[in-house]
Structure 1
């Protein structure tokens, strides 16, 4: 078989198979070039979902007439010049393949005027055949026209979907861009009609330009109402953005956006870290929603591992996984019932969004400051005798109602604190119990309904976890060491990660190329299938450099214990007992959800209740 040199047009078309998957790929590459050129406004005109026409106009720096032909030649770029540049890429585009690849499978025109030139010029390319540079009137900036995509590669064109589907892919990518670059104005038309517009919102220099307006435009107002602002920096890393409270969750991963140094990417390690952070508060089968920006030295991340630049590779993958997990884990720990923000987070109103009612700041370290002059009983256990709790309730509230209440009689309603009092605790004060299941409480803004079993279950669960964390992980030696047959890769991981496995409670040694000897296991899990657990841990260590399998198995056991110990439905509680439960909820981490991820409370504002009864109409 004869070896031959491929012609340039065929080389470009092969490259187009990697870079140009569909019209959305073309829009992505061209808009990224516009952003790298310093554009503050980009117009995207589309016809037939981008198959008929994609026109990208920007007001960036422009391209000189002598550079137009070079711009559509392979591996020509202004963004890198050496290996050092490649190892620290700070631009969105850098390969120098996009324009020639796109031009090889379309009817292509590149028009531009550089800031230093008085006149613009245009270069046309038809299916990879480059024409001559010609003068053309053009404002400063660049316009790229891509017509009849894949007209000369019919096999590729057959794989395109319906117009609505292709347009949907473009809109989804533009949604990502709108989140990543709120400083840029984006205008979109489809088939001659205005389709979408995002106004520019100033500079990104302060690192916090993404406003509630753009959040609501891209992800919806419901996300905005449930978003927690996260901003944490350590070890040369910074993670900031928004995560949705667990009560706002999705059936799919359609609202998960990760940006690494401003580049929208998919990363399995970071996705795993986020999933682990939510594991204790999310209902089974549901997915969290988030917009997260990870910033680090460009030299610590390789963006040159995917032709379309969808993926990256981190030099310190284990460190980054742990950093993301711990940052979000602590933030979610602060989602106490009645509060709006967690540890390491900024209150939603400070981030430009209206917070949920009762937003109370949480101090670093996870302790909630007691509101001044509230007069409520903090962290009162439910196990108090009825007479004792009634006496305490009467002592606290009797004077407010115009006289001390007897410990043996119910507290009259008029002795409750004024609901308009600004010092009311976040969940208010109990009024009654509904069907032996729900607690009804009056708060400063309306009605709070609490699922008492779910709330008590979470409180007990967190106490059990804290107790076990304080004791440390104990191990139990096996009477007879167990021999496990594993793959050579698993044996390598076990040998390399022996110290990490020891911290998790496993004493494991390699006894052969494909065998391990297990001598001790975590004591709390000794009666379970520890061999299967060890295999899962090894799989996590191999893929993510970290494993929470032991902690998850322990937590599942403690969750079951807490569930059995929680107050049951149809148990009648006194008002003091109800209020004690409310105060514990306000002080307990993650108390907004039960151990299974279901919500523990709901809030109905007075205006909302008024609408039920058409008041004011």
Structure 2
């Protein structure tokens, strides 16, 4: 076939294939135009999921009659003029493709009136047929009606889902856009039934609560941060706009099974960004189960020159010039807000017979151990565990535990501590009444400041798992040291084919930090020459441990591990999390282990010291709280 120039209609329909994926895409593009036009109220009405009708009206500044035909042509926009402006986009729309693309695959009517005119004008287009503008009585603003979407491209229309599904996508689009613009009022009606009604002039938090649901408000933790210095300077050496962030971090108890309840925004634009999404999920690492997603709202403001919004035809994705800085900003602020909050869930006694949890119940998670009789570790295990800790981090726990053990002749050979008295965090620990129940749970009183008195119930395995994880993380990732290791009299032989043997080179830095020495032994085996002292003393099998570690390496879970001193701490923590989870789970006391009073006291003392003690590394709660008021209700005292 000879080379020929495509018709304008076909060009626009090809563009529509990239810009207009479904009815929600039309709504998104048109709402962005309304906002750029200065609208303070936007009304959206659809029929049959938007396939029959999409009608959007605003009270913005309108389009002059003489510009209406131009508005429907390709690459026509009032928001961009020079290439320099393209490097610092400050409007939501700018490509000039939306109206032309929509008009090419629908029956479109555009009505608009500017505030300085007494009447508006209407222009219509169906396929490549365009009517000239004609006068119409209307209020200032713009109304766009899109009927019979994809009527002339049946191949596209047959891929549309049910009206209910398309309605859901549109509602999500409206909510995500409305959340970022609390000063603008939004209504959304489907088949004559109003489903969204957001008043104008909300404050930012209230708009988010109105969309997320008022029942979640008590569990939404607000955070805000404004950098005092810019990320970098412009080409002339002038400082760029410093970054800022505002958001709401949902407590782990309201985590969901999908990321639908995560709202990410950059410079007033709702976006889908892996960098920001990863930062948010990473901030919750160890607080929620791996298969759960946090509820979160994160709004980032950057200098426009530091973010490229033109990387995708729908403008739904962005690219940062300093992605690590944005990632670190979001991660640190969400994490700090969570760490500053008491996240222990409240238990409640419902009626006269059952336990309930205000957070939705406790579930079995990865790493959980059933409450079954398990061999009790040797008495020296806990003392040896505390001896592994850096003296400056021991605090009163090791000192008090060891003193009591020596006084009772349980551990007469325990070494004296090297930590001076000035470094002991709390030389007079609180005396508690402690009960171990079913050799699995620890019960003691709760006198947390600012909270109602009551009881706390601790899962000993989950809590000790968190303690072990934090100790490993501090030693390996923060302090940059290696775990102490113990050489084996005879190598532990692990079956490994050539492929698994080749993985040893990839994880060599990791093995060194863990205190593991392993080398190939012949064509089908690996020999473990040294193993972490703490794991060995806790009875962890080197062969089973190495098999699991090699499984993770083969699955690619350890491919991004970077343990160099100059490596980013957060990145290293993310890469090592799987291994540290495995280590802490295997080394922790198990459900069914009988603990002495001294060991129980040590466990609870460490709970008060470590970060994120409310959950194990897998996100399962370590502790639940039962208030005195709930108990009194059961006994009809209140």
1:71 equivalent in structure 2: 71
> Secondary structure of the equivalent of 2:109?
strand
Aligned equivalent of 2:389: none
Give the alignment of 1:437-516 within 5 angstroms.
437-443=441-447, 444-445=451-452, 446-469=454-477, 471-473=479-481
Correspondence for 2:309:
303
1:229 deviates by 2.2
SS of corresponding position for 2:620:
coil
Q: 1:169, CA displacement in angstroms?
A: 0.6
Structure 2: distance between partners of 1:145 and 1:268: 34
Which residues of structure 2 form unaligned runs of 5+? 232-241, 347-358, 360-393, 408-429, 485-497, 500-504, 519-545
8 Å contact from structure 1 (residues 430, 440) kept in 2: yes
Task: Give me the TM-score of the superposition, normalised by structure 2.
Answer: 0.68
Note the alpha carbon deviations across 1:220-278, whole angstroms, 9 max, x for none.
34543333223234433223212223343222222222111111111222323333333
The DSSP-based 3-state class of the residue aligned with 2:611 is coil
1:55-80 Cα distance to aligned partner (Å, 9 max, x none): 10111111112221221111111111
In 1, the alpha carbon distance for the partners of 2:580 and 2:162 equals 51
C-alpha displacement of 1:171: 0.8
Describe how 1:224-373 pairs up with structure 2 within 5 A.
224-234=217-227, 235=231, 236-335=242-341, 337=343
Q: Work out the CA distance in 2 between the residues paired with 1:20 and 1:428.
A: 66
Residues of 1 paired with 2:517 and 2:277: CA distance? 30
The equivalent position to 2:618 in structure 1, one of 596, 610, 613, is 596
Equivalent residues of 2:276, 2:326 under 8 A apart: yes
Task: For residue 453 of structure 1, report the CA deviation from its aligned partner.
Answer: 3.4
Preserved contact between residue 260 and residue 293 of structure 1 (Cα < 8 Å): yes
With over 3 angstroms needed to count, the CA separation of the structure-2 counterparts of 1:557 and 1:334, relative to structure 1, is farther
The DSSP-based 3-state class of the residue aligned with 2:78 is coil
User: Alpha-carbon deviation of 1:461?
Assistant: 3.1
CA RMSD of aligned residues (A): 4.0
Q: How does 1:16-27 map to 2 (within 5 A)?
A: 16-27=16-27
How many angstroms does 1:89 deviate by? Answer: 0.6
Q: Counterpart of 2:397 in 1: which secondary structure?
A: coil
SS for the counterpart of 2:11 is helix
The number of residues matched between the two structures is 499
Change (3 A) 1:53 1:559: closer
Is the partner of 2:169 in helix, strand or coil? helix
Gap change, CA 1:170 and 1:559, over 3 Å in 2 = closer
Whole-angstrom CA distance in 2 between matches of 1:610 and 1:99: 65
**41-50 or 228-237: which moved more?**
228-237
- Relative distance call for 1:506 and 1:584 in structure 2 (3 A) is closer
What residue is the counterpart of 1:381 in the other structure?
397
The CA distance in 2 between the partners of 1:94 and 1:50, in whole Å, is 24
* SS of equivalent to 1:381: helix
> Displacement, 1:196?
1.7
1: CA distance between counterparts of 2:334 and 2:70? 46
Q: Secondary structure at the match of 1:593?
A: coil
The question of whether the paired residues in 2 share the 8 Å contact of 1:113 and 1:119 is answered with yes
Aligned equivalents of 1:328, 1:174: Cα separation in 2: 25
Contact 2:261–2:295 (CA under 8 A) maintained in structure 1: yes
Contact 1:438–1:452 under 8 Å retained in 2? yes
Deviation at 1:120, TM superposition (A): 1.4
Q: Is the 8 A contact 2:345 2:624 kept in 1?
A: no
For the 8 Å contact 2:473–2:573, the answer to whether it is kept is no
Q: Which residue of 2 aligns with 1:105?
A: 105
Is the 2:298–2:330 contact (alpha carbons within 8 Å) kept by the matching residues of 1? no
Is the 2:45–2:54 Cα contact (8 Å) retained in structure 1?
yes
Q: By how many angstroms is 1:158 displaced?
A: 1.2
Does the CA-based 8 Å contact 2:345-2:623 persist in structure 1?
Answer: no
Distance verdict in 2 for CA 1:336–1:66, change over 3 Å? same
Whole-angstrom distance in 1 between the partners of 2:590 and 2:555: 35
